Amino acid sequence: MATQEDDDDEINPFTTVLNDQDHHEQQPNSLTTVHDGAPEQQSYSLRSIESTVVIRQLPSEGLSFQLWPAATALISLLDSYRSSPSTSPLSAAFSGSQRQLRILELGSGTGIVGIVAAATLGGNVTITDLPHVVPNLQFNKDANKEVITSNGGAVTVAALRWGNVDDVAEIGRDFDVVLASDVVYHDHLYEPLLETLRFLLLGFEEEKEMKKKKKEKETVFVMAHLKRWKKESAFFKKAKKLFDVDVLHTCAPSDRARVGVVVYRFVPKGLIAPSEV
């Protein structure tokens, strides 16, 4: 068994979720959990639009059915971006679009990040996960229909298996931003995730040339991540062979954590100015 001194020990995701929840409940934009056995109802107050998003968690069904720490960090940043876009760390990813933002979320889990993005940005958001997770995503989308539509947003639910070209083709590549939180976890999923990002951000050569001719904005991947193991560096090492990667924001660690959530930006190589990296 690894020890804490190895700095390669597993952080129990269930414990991490609960610890991070305790931390966020002390903040102005707070999570509130209503325990009614299982499932659990979780609500998040969005100050920028004076609304509340409510989701259903199903902890007994597995990790994909509950809220993870990086998701709460990204939710807070989306909320603050709506209030003050010019000073937000996310401005580098969201600014410059001349149309309603088209957003794809990978590994959506409960769907709260994509739902909040639709509500705060008025974006057209597609939330995705494995097929067996889709029914709960649909449930949470339906539960928040009013807050989404009243703020000009829209949410679509779809299955997307990382590394599956057919799934990506079905959803399409016409997105301004791809979002994800706490997706670099199991090392056997690093390659499928990178393959999916390659499809979405790089596409095929003819598509890239067409975008250049039309002067279209390239797709940006924004990922919130909480480091757990040294082995995660392998994902970033491989990613940097395909993309330019920089840090948009680093959160302070919660009271019981050693590190804070880091929000990264991935773009096709050559798009980030040297001064920005």
Interval 104-118: pLDDT, tens: 999 999 999 999 999
Q: Is the pLDDT of residue 11 over 90?
A: no
pLDDT at 9: 42
pLDDT in tens, 28-79: 355 554 444 457 888 999 999 999 999 998 888 777 788 888 999 999 999 9
- Beginning with the edge strand found earlier in the chain, give each strand of the sheet holding 154-159 in spatial order: 154-159, 124-129, 102-105, 177-181, 220-225, 262-268, 243-250
Confidence category of residue 272, pLDDT binned at 50, 70, 90: low
pLDDT at 31: 52
277 belongs to a structural domain: no
Percent of the residues in the chain that have a pLDDT greater than 70, as a whole number: 78
- Beginning with the edge strand found earlier in the chain, give each strand of the sheet holding 31-35 in spatial order: 31-35, 40-46, 51-57
- Closest by CA to 244, choosing from 223, 218, 265, is 265
The residues, ordered by sequence, that sit 6+ positions from 220 with a Cβ below 8 Å of its Cβ are: 93, 176, 177, 178, 201, 265, 266, 267
273 belongs to a structural domain: no
Is the pTM value of this prediction over 0.85? no
- The average pLDDT across 171-188 equals 92
260 belongs to a structural domain: yes
pLDDT in tens, 188-204: 999 999 999 999 998 75
| Lowest mean per-residue pLDDT among 93-102, 165-174, 199-208, 222-231 | 199-208
Q: Is the pLDDT of residue 7 over 70?
A: no
Confidence category of residue 1, pLDDT binned at 50, 70, 90: very low
111 belongs to a structural domain: yes
121 belongs to a structural domain: yes
pLDDT at 186: 86
Amino acid at the residue 20: D
Q: Is the pLDDT of residue 16 over 60?
A: no
- Find the CATH number of the domain harbouring 236: 3.40.50.150
276 belongs to a structural domain: no
Q: Is the pLDDT of residue 152 over 90?
A: yes
Number of domains present in the structure of the chain: 1
Range of the domain at 189: 4-268
Confidence category of residue 258, pLDDT binned at 50, 70, 90: confident
